[in-house]
Structure 1
Amino acid sequence: MFPKLGQGFVVVVSCAWNFPYRRELYDWELIEEANLIAALSYAPPLCNENADYLIWSNDVAAHTQFSVVDLYAHSSSLLGPNLRICKQVWNSLLPPKVSFFCWLAWKNKVKSSEFLHKIGLLDSSTSTLCPFCNYEPETNIHVLLHCPFSWLIWSSVIKEWGLQWCISSSVAGLFHWWMSEKFQKYVRIIWRALPLVILWSLWKHKNDCVFSKAQPNFPGLLDLIKFRSALWLKASVKDFPFSVDDIVFKWKQIRGSD
């Protein structure tokens, strides 16, 4: 589907076409000239009553006026289905690095220790156990969802919002459940940002435990998640009605304001 010139752009001077060539044409060029004249004979005549405009050349949208909106919609349709989960992951109110990491987590493409060990980037003597529990291998799903430490973070946040949940088997399942909860206005903004902030914070804390010899700190990480959510949303949302203290210390009141 491509735009073409509307009728106002086509000018037919006469029924006979005379092309001033600088040399005589070869036999094969004469055939091409005849084909060109035949094609020109089917051009619509100039219509002085109508303004020039672009129309779509495909049969489905024939005689439909061209617009940039239609072009964008058509181009987007070629990229595949519009998944709701994409709107959850690519949250414009959070830093792009957070959305990109969560996209990797959704696609199970985060480079965990177990993955790096399989492809030979980690020495065989290097431990691939989860630094939170030191029991299970460090996989994406384990560190971000199923580790007892991570599960406690998720459960504490959800409990403070007065909700109950069952742990998901994947990051995609987590996002689908998260989007099923309905809130209004600014409360919905906080709720939609939380899973991305939690995923990012869990992975950052895991890296601190691996590379900086930090110890898993449940209360410290929980407060950090709230603090990051408050700072990022306050910086991105115009006239955000909640203060940093509200988000860090008064989640239950915020939930009740919905």
Structure 2
Amino acid sequence: MVWRDILKVAFKCPQLLEVFKANSKITIGDGRLISFWLDQWVGGDCLKNLFPRLYSVSMQQGISVAVIKSRSTGSGEWDLSFRRALFQWEVEELRKMKELLQTAPELRYGVVDGLSWAADRSGIFTVSSAYKWSELTSTMPAKVVELIWKNAAPPKVQFFAWLAWKGRIKTSTYLQRIGILSANSDANCVFCRKERETVSHVLLCCSFSWRVWSNIIGWWGVSWVQPGSVVGLIQWWAGFRCKNRLKVIWKIIPLAVLWSLWKLRNEIIFNESQLDFGKLCDLIKTRVAMWFRAFSPSFCYSVDDLRMICFCRAVVVNCRCVGITILVGGLAEGLSDLSAAAVVFNQFEGLLLYLI
């Protein structure tokens, strides 16, 4: 009866169900209540979603973790049965899944499996905490949609950002998983050559990509903690508050970075281009400035002016009773003393006052 009531609520309010799923974390006990394929107990998703092809041919789709573990060999190999012999690329998928299973938590015999609630420090579910989280996230999809589609970036860039947000970029690991690339193909990131190329890795978490993001964020003078995924990145960007006059430029930046990283990735694969951190950062600045300039043709400043000023790390106008102190930091390379910075400030005073 309780579960039927829960399903009724989920049917009427799917968003509340998503909040529940996002904040519920399985606590591993003896594994008897946890579905091997359908529950998220190892990795970032359930094994059915991570390895859909293996799930489709599995003979153990509804079996618990405890049952499969009890049938494992003495060497610790999981006992997995399939309806037919696996193709070569499926064998590679099985190898990857077994590597993931090596990171699985140990079963605790005599302890019942459970759920913990991440939305509350106590780990215990409460209606009030679920309500707060649902209210917090209720406006997020709308903000993300606005960030992507109501943007001064070109339409093709907006569409690419939407694909990245949805995780539908055709990375090497994706192409390998669906059989377009062979199992022997190199699916590692073309930037670092160390990790497998996923959407979040190549566009955010790779050491090279993260240097680029840090550089761009540094121009804006914002401190942040690296999000764990492109979804988290775009949600954070959409929720960041800034002055109305800055919003147009602020919304362009993540799309320009995502687009530029992916373009460089393709240039390396298809044209054997080389990594150039400084050139890429300069290209991103230029793209943001050009897209903003095209969006606001009546704006009287050139692209070079925007590239120089729009990304200054700190422009502080502090009015005091004894006078006005102008502190300008990071306006351009080589402006080490305040007097030189003040000259630049006077030159672009109208633009700065427009942006502040």
Taking the TM superposition and a 5 Å limit, the aligned residue runs for 1:1-258 are 83-253=142-312, 256=315, 257=352, 258=356
For the 8 Å contact 2:267–2:273, the answer to whether it is kept is yes
- Distance (whole Å) between structure 1 residues aligned to residue 172 and residue 251 of structure 2: 29
Q: For residues 40-64 of structure 1, what are the alpha-carbon distances to aligned partners after superposition, in whole Å with 9 as ceiling and x for unaligned?
A: xxxxxxxxxxxxxxxxxxxxxxxxx
TM-score, length basis structure 2: 0.47
Q: After TM superposition, which residue ranges in structure 1, 4 or more long, deviate above 6 angstroms?
A: none
- Distance (whole Å) between structure 1 residues aligned to residue 283 and residue 268 of structure 2: 15
Q: CA deviation at 1:252?
A: 4.3
Q: CA deviation at 1:246?
A: 2.4
Q: Kindly tell me: are residues 190 and 138 of structure 1, through their superposed partners in 2, closer, same or farther at Cα, counting changes over 3 Å?
A: same
Q: Kindly tell me: are residues 112 and 105 of structure 1, through their superposed partners in 2, closer, same or farther at Cα, counting changes over 3 Å?
A: same
Partner-residue secondary structure (3-state), 1:94: coil
Amino acid at match of 1:146: C
Q: For residues 94-138 of structure 1, what are the alpha-carbon distances to aligned partners after superposition, in whole Å with 9 as ceiling and x for unaligned?
A: 111101010010000101001001111012332111010000011
- Distance (whole Å) between structure 1 residues aligned to residue 211 and residue 312 of structure 2: 22
For the 8 Å contact 1:129–1:135, the answer to whether it is kept is yes
Percentage of identical aligned residues: 40
- Distance (whole Å) between structure 1 residues aligned to residue 313 and residue 195 of structure 2: 36
For the 8 Å contact 1:129–1:138, the answer to whether it is kept is yes
Q: Kindly tell me: are residues 255 and 91 of structure 1, through their superposed partners in 2, closer, same or farther at Cα, counting changes over 3 Å?
A: farther
Q: For residues 136-190 of structure 1, what are the alpha-carbon distances to aligned partners after superposition, in whole Å with 9 as ceiling and x for unaligned?
A: 0111100000000000000011111111111111222112221333222432211
In terms of mean alpha carbon deviation, does 245-254 or 119-128 score higher? 245-254
Count of residue pairs brought into register by the alignment: 179
- Distance (whole Å) between structure 1 residues aligned to residue 228 and residue 150 of structure 2: 23
Structure 1 residue ranges without an equivalent (≥5): 1-80
For the 8 Å contact 1:102–1:196, the answer to whether it is kept is yes
For the 8 Å contact 2:217–2:223, the answer to whether it is kept is yes
- Distance (whole Å) between structure 2 residues aligned to residue 226 and residue 220 of structure 1: 10
Higher-RCO chain (CA-CA 8 Å, sequence separation at least 6)? 1
